[in-house]
Structures are given as C-alpha cells and as structure tokens.
C-alpha cells in the first residue's frame, strides 16, 4: 500500500502549504489572519501532551509584563500562567518543526527576514484575562510576527475568553476570536493591540513570536 502512504503524505504537505499561503496572502493584504482548523491535529495533540508534562514538572508560573529589566507581575494586566517551550523538552518537536517551516515559507514568500522564534503555553484559569496590549513597541523590539493557536475543544459562547483584536492605533474592534481547538491567529506584532477577555473555564493557548535579528556591535540578541 505504498501509494496510499505516499498520497497521505502529499496531502499533508499540500494542506500545510495551502495554510501557509493563506497566511502569506492575508499578512500582505491585512496584516493579520484568523484561520480555523489550521494547526494540524497531531501538533495540537502533542501540545496537550506538553501541557501535561509541564504541569507535572511545575513549569507553569505567573506571566510577567514589560521588557528587559522592566518586567513586572501585575494582576491587573494579566493573570495567566505560562510555560516557555524549550527545544530539548519532550512533545515540543512537532510544534517547533512546524513553526520553522512557516518561518522559511514566509521568508521566501514575503522577504520578512524572520530569524528566531520563541513560544509559550498559556493557561488561563476561570477569571483570568489579559488586558489590551501590543506584543512589541515600534523601534524597541525585534518581535515582528505574533502567532497564537488554541487547544480547547468545544468552547461555548458563554465561556468568554475571546481574543479581541483592534485596528492599528485605534480602539476600533476588528474581530473577536473564539479560542477553539486548532484555530490559528497571526498578526504583525507592532500593529495590532489585542486583549483576552475573561475566561470562564480553563483556557489553553500557545503563543509564539518570530523575531528579526537584532544583533549589533554593542549587544548580541539572544533568542529570548
Ligand atoms: C499573548 C497573547 C493571546 C491569546 O500571550 O501575548 O496576546 O489569545 N495571547 O492567548
Ligand atoms: Mn499578546
């Protein structure tokens, strides 16, 4: 049944390229994309395994806000717990390989010069939120592209936890994303303010950032 295996692989690759191309087209046109069922289920499932592992290792810790030496923990800004995804950890490979492929595709297609990637799992418990923020400030950071995907099956409308994305430099709401399993959101990090509305049940997301190389003669930029 060699042909069947070959076809299955081809379909998987075709599917991935189709999603990557949709992302490229939307980024070029709008600067953001929201695509349901975009993250392959095998990857989402391995991230669920990663969560169980990180939880067992007590890796989750309260998320901080701010940059560099100015990071603080503020219960008024965000209340989620996070666990950074390290390459050497189990269950991280499928996700990191996929993001590397996306990085290569977008660099070829849009000449973005994406250089490195960092990502974490976030756990919002009932009552948790993340107030309106941008992931990077113009001229102060080399995060250029933000990526979020969701790991929650059967999210109901009354469970809150939507990601709200606003138009650049305004408070005009562009869209509300239900944090459903497999949905992928990607946007230019400096352009789009966004917030996570209070979740009424446990809510898991994976968030990642592609950076351009910020190295200069004074300081070498570490991946994170
Ligand atoms: C973030 C973020 C959005 C989400 O971690 O910076 O905006 O929907 N996450 O979890
Ligand atoms: Mn954010």
Smallest-distance ligand from the CA of 149: 1
Distance CA 181, CA 149 (A): 8
CA of 97 relative to ligand 1 center, distance in Å: 21
- Considering the chain, what percentage of its residues have pLDDT values greater than 70? 92
Closest ligand 1 atom, residue 185 Cα: 8
Lowest mean pLDDT among 2-6, 80-84, 105-109, 212-216: 2-6
Instruction: Give me the mean pLDDT over the 2-7 stretch.
Output: 52
Distance CA 139, CA 195 (A): 22
Among 121, 132, 203, 205, say which to mutate for ligand 1: greatest number of ligand atoms within 8 Å of CB.
Answer: 205
pTM: 0.91
Q: What domains appear along the chain, each with residue ranges and CATH number?
A: 6-211 (2.60.120.620)
CA angle 119, 217, 66 (to 5 degrees): 35
Q: Is 139 left (phi over 0), alpha (psi -120 to 50) or beta?
A: left
Q: Three-state DSSP class for 153?
A: coil
Task: Say which DSSP state 160 is in.
Answer: B
């Amino acid at each position: 049944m060699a042909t069947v295996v070959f076809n299955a692989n081809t379909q998987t690759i075709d599917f991935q390229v189709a999603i990557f191309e949709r992302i490229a087209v939307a980024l070029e046109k709008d600067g953001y994309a929201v695509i349901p069922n975009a993250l392959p289920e095998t990857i989402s499932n391995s991230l669920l395994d990663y969560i169980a592992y990180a939880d067992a290792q007590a890796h989750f810790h309260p998320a901080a806000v701010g940059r560099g030496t100015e990071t603080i923990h503020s219960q008024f800004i965000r209340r989620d717990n996070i666990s950074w995804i390290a390459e050497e950890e189990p269950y991280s490979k499928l996700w990191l390989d996929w993001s590397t492929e996306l990085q290569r595709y977008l660099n070829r297609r849009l000449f973005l010069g994406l250089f490195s990637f960092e990502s974490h799992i976030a756990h919002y418990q009932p009552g948790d939120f993340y107030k309106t923020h941008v992931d990077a400030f113009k001229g102060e950071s080399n995060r250029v592209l933000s990526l979020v995907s969701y790991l929650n099956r059967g999210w109901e409308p009354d469970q809150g936890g939507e990601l709200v994305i606003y138009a650049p430099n305004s408070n005009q709401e562009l869209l509300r994303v239900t944090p459903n399993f497999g949905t992928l959101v990607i946007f230019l990090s400096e352009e789009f303010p966004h917030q996570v509305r209070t979740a009424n049940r446990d809510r898991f997301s994976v968030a990642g950032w592609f950076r351009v190389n910020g190295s200069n003669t004074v300081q070498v930029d570490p991946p994170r």
